[in-house]
Amino acid sequence: MERLILAIETSCDETAAAVTLGRTVLGSAVYTQREHELYGGVVPEIASRNHVMKIPYIVDEALKKAEKSYRDIDAIAVTNGPGLIGALLVGVSFAKALAYYYKLPLIPVHHIEGHICSLFISHETLEPPFLCLVVSGGHSHILVVEDYGVYRLIGKTRDDAVGEAFDKTARALGLGYPGGPKLEALAREGEPVYAYPRGFKGETHLDFTFSGLKTAVINHIHNMEQKGETYKKADIAASFQNEAVSFLADNTFEAAARTGINKIGIAGGVSANGALREAFRRRAEKENISLYLPELKYCTDNAAMIGCAAAFSKETDQPLRLNADASRMLFE
């Protein structure tokens, strides 16, 4: 029988809690810390302090939305890595205290496994095996989800994650933080008139590189400014986005062709990007692939995806010894 899970996620700048039953989300609460906007990026110490202040209220809110109390809960789940160590420790400590007090099992969840499981929430019938493109602030992976909890990495970024490239390019365009959604909004007003170079051209692996793309955009802006040329920022945003999305799509659909797997899921913050969703939709239709996208509210960090991952994850047999692991691995 499915267990009622209270899940907690504090790996970066979202304080999140959710009550889940299998793939069903009964209540989910997310607080996105706005304090970092002032600094143009996440300040780890500020993130940790905010989590400490917010977490009891966010957990209460999730329980309230689910119309449940602590006494109804069967297990506690928590993201214990990867992420910012101080931020992770807040969630892990809170979860340990709850598990101890209410004598409940404690399930540690890998943050990226959580993102992958956002697909199970939005697609009731989705079953492994399928290909998953994980595109977030810290990761750009193509992996085969062979079974629940069994992953095989077949492509990854060798430098910046695509979300990081969106954020850095947005900063170069003077858009502020968080840059991804702002860059997407600006790109809607422009055209992809500039062709930025693709890394790894002619190579046979499925890895990505986004650092060169970001640098090409920054150099392009500097060049035009030095020459006193006028340009539309929106065209630059659209050209950057077009190249980033095409690179992701080319390698992911190539992975589908090579593995013969005709189901593709996309997860992580960048999967909220409208141009990416549209490009993958068009291509999936043409290539006869089933495409699975998370609902927008489950693209960026949330605890519902952590609860969903916990439904098939193992509890720890030493709950009081559970620690946060900032660089926890999902693959060997």
Ligand X SMILES: Nc1ncnc2c1ncn2[C@@H]1O[C@H](COP(=O)(O)OP(=O)(O)OP(=O)(O)O)[C@@H](O)[C@H]1O
Do 290 and 4 touch, CB atoms closer than 8 A?
Answer: no
Omega within 30 of 0 (cis) for the link into 129: yes
Per DSSP (E only), the strands in 209-321 are: 263-267, 290-292
The option from ligand X, Mg ion, none interacting with 199 (CB < 5 to 8 A, set by class) reads none
Render the burial of 296-322: b for 16+ CB within 10 Å, e for the rest: eebbbbbbbbbbbbbbebebbeebeeb
Per DSSP (E only), the strands in 82-119 are: 106-110
- Site residues for ligand X, 148-187, by CB under 6 A, read 163-164, 166-167, 178-181, 184
Question: What is the smallest separation between the CB atom of 263 and Mg ion, expressed in angstroms?
Answer: 22
Q: Report the side by side order of strands in the sheet with 106-110.
A: 24-32, 14-21, 4-9, 75-81, 106-110
> In the set 110, 111, 141, 171, which binds ligand X (CB under 6 A)?
111
Cα 220 to Cα 236: distance, rounded to the nearest angstrom = 9
Stretch touching Mg ion by CB under 5 A, among 156-164, 201-209, 258-266, 293-301: 293-301
Is there binding between residue 301 and Mg ion (CB under 5 A)? yes
> In the set 81, 137, 190, 265, which binds ligand X (CB under 6 A)?
137
- Site string (213-252) toward ligand X, x via CB under 6 A: ----------------------------------------
The option from ligand X, Mg ion, none interacting with 242 (CB < 5 to 8 A, set by class) reads none
Is there binding between residue 86 and ligand X (CB under 6 A)? no
Nearer to ligand X, 130 or 210 (CB): 210
Question: What is the smallest separation between the CB atom of 215 and ligand X, expressed in angstroms?
Answer: 17
Q: Which residue has the tokens 């929430």?
A: 121
Nearer to ligand X, 104 or 272 (CB): 272
Do 5 and 20 touch, CB atoms closer than 8 A?
Answer: yes
Do 281 and 51 touch, CB atoms closer than 8 A?
Answer: no
Question: What is the smallest separation between the CB atom of 317 and ligand X, expressed in angstroms?
Answer: 27
Question: What is the smallest separation between the CB atom of 262 and ligand X, expressed in angstroms?
Answer: 26
Is there binding between residue 164 and Mg ion (CB under 5 A)? no
Cα 320 to Cα 128: distance, rounded to the nearest angstrom = 33
Nearer to ligand X, 257 or 296 (CB): 296
CA torsion 231-235-239-245 (nearest 10°) is: 150
Cα 319 to Cα 96: distance, rounded to the nearest angstrom = 7
- Site residues for Mg ion, 83-142, by CB under 5 A, read 136
Chain positions contacting Mg ion, by CB under 5 A? 136, 301
Residue ranges binding ligand X (CB under 6 A): 12, 83, 111, 115, 136-139, 163-164, 166-167, 178-181, 184, 268-270, 272-273, 300-301
